[in-house]
Structures are given as C-alpha cells and as structure tokens.
Structure 1
Amino acid sequence: MFKIILYAPFLKNIQGITLYPFILLKYKHLRKDKFLMNHEEIHLQQQKELLVFPFYVLYLSNYAFNLLRYRNHYQAYRNICFEREAYENEYNLHYLKERKIWAFWKYW
C-alpha cells in the first residue's frame, strides 16, 4: 500500500491522521505502534476506494449527522462509519488482507 509517513508535532489531541497518501503522526515513535498504524492504513484503504474526495464528503456528512444525533463531539466522531470500521479492526493485523471492498458500509 502506497503511503507517506510524516511527523506533525503540532497535532493537538490526536495521535495520527490520514490524508491520502499521507499518514501524519504526532511523534516519530508512533510509527512503531502497529495498532495505530493499522488503524490509519484502514483509513488509507477507505480513502482509496472512494477516490479520496468523496471520502471526505461522506466523512464530514456522517460526522455532522452524528453531531445532531448525539450532541457530543466524541460520540459523533466515534460513530462515523469509517472510524467504527477502523477502531473495531485496528487490533486485527490481518484485517486489510481479509477486508472486502467498501466494508465501511457495514458500519453505516
């Protein structure tokens, strides 16, 4: 999988973020965190499947809907379908090899 890892100490309350094809990590040592990297690589795959821009439209739309529903930033974020897939599977290091295309729809 094509990826470019950059270090971004300016990230405030997050360890990492994926903006295809980049994975931005708060600290260099996080590159060795195989579960965080798996989580971010799941996002790379999601973004690739949706040809990047539509991913962001769906991501933000899902977040906005969840924010209206839950009235809480953290709950809205954790219930974004893309995040649900990534969090649920970040500890399964074989997930990306087994994952079916557009698997995030299962979490919508």
Structure 2
Amino acid sequence: MIIVCQNFLKNTKINGITLYPFIFIKNPEDKTNAVLINHEKIHLRQQLELLVIFFYLAYIIEYYFWFFKLKNPHKAYRRISFEMEAYTNEANLNYLKKRKFWAFRKFI
C-alpha cells in the first residue's frame, strides 16, 4: 500500500521509505513515479525474505559497518547491500518478476 505522508518526510531528503507493508512517499506526484515505486517494492521483497525484523537488523548493522569504515553517511547508505540491489535494478520494472531469492547477497 502506498501512502503519501508529506509531514513525516517533510524535513528529510527522503522521497520514499518502505516500512513493511507500507510505502511512504513525500510527494503525491511520486505515486506515478514507476522507478521510485519499483525501488521501494524491491525493499518490500527484501523485508519479506528476511521476515521483516531481520531486514532491519541487517540494514542497521550494515549501515554502521560502512559508516565507521567510510566516515560518510551518504556513502555508507549507498553501500548497504539492500540499497545497492534496489538502486541497480530500480529502472528495470520487470526485475521483481525474475528476481532470485535473497538476490541482495550478491551485493555484499
């Protein structure tokens, strides 16, 4: 389910965030942004595969690993395997149809 939530994301650089089972987007016009929605749907699949809670634990651990190594929050975020998979495949609108189970592992 896609929810427009301008107040929640208003003071952030985030255009969309997935908190299973919802996709929150900042701007109403992004409901039709197929690339952004596909990126967030990739995260939905990742969250399901890791039973949601393990996704968030792995995400946080991986973020801090990269943050302490790179000393840069944006670079750390972009090095998270879940984000690498989503950014690499967000423009491929058929990706989720052929995506293999735990496909994010190849980005670790």
Whole-Å separation in 1 of the counterparts to 2:29 and 2:51:
30
* Percent identity for Structure 1 against Structure 2: 50
Per-residue CA deviations over 1:19-74 (Å, capped at 9, x if unaligned) read 00000000111010000000000000000000100000000000000001110000
Q: Which runs of 5+ in 2 are unaligned?
A: none
- Structure-2 residue corresponding to 1:22: 22
Structure 2 counterpart of 1:43, one-letter code:
H
- Structure-2 residue corresponding to 1:107: 107
Whole-Å separation in 2 of the counterparts to 1:71 and 1:98:
35
Structure 2 counterpart of 1:77, one-letter code:
Y
Q: Which runs of 5+ in 1 are unaligned?
A: none
Question: Cα RMSD between the aligned structures?
Answer: 0.6
- Structure-1 residue corresponding to 2:89: 89
Give how far 1:97 is off.
0.4
TM-score, normalised by the number of residues in structure 2:
0.95
- Structure-2 residue corresponding to 1:41: 41
Structure 1 counterpart of 2:5, one-letter code:
A
TM-score, normalised by the number of residues in structure 1:
0.95
Q: Partner of 1:17: helix, strand, or coil?
A: strand
Q: Partner of 2:3: helix, strand, or coil?
A: strand
Structure 1 or 2: more helix by fraction = 2
- Structure-2 residue corresponding to 1:9: 6
Whole-Å separation in 2 of the counterparts to 1:107 and 1:74:
17
Whole-Å separation in 2 of the counterparts to 1:31 and 1:88:
21
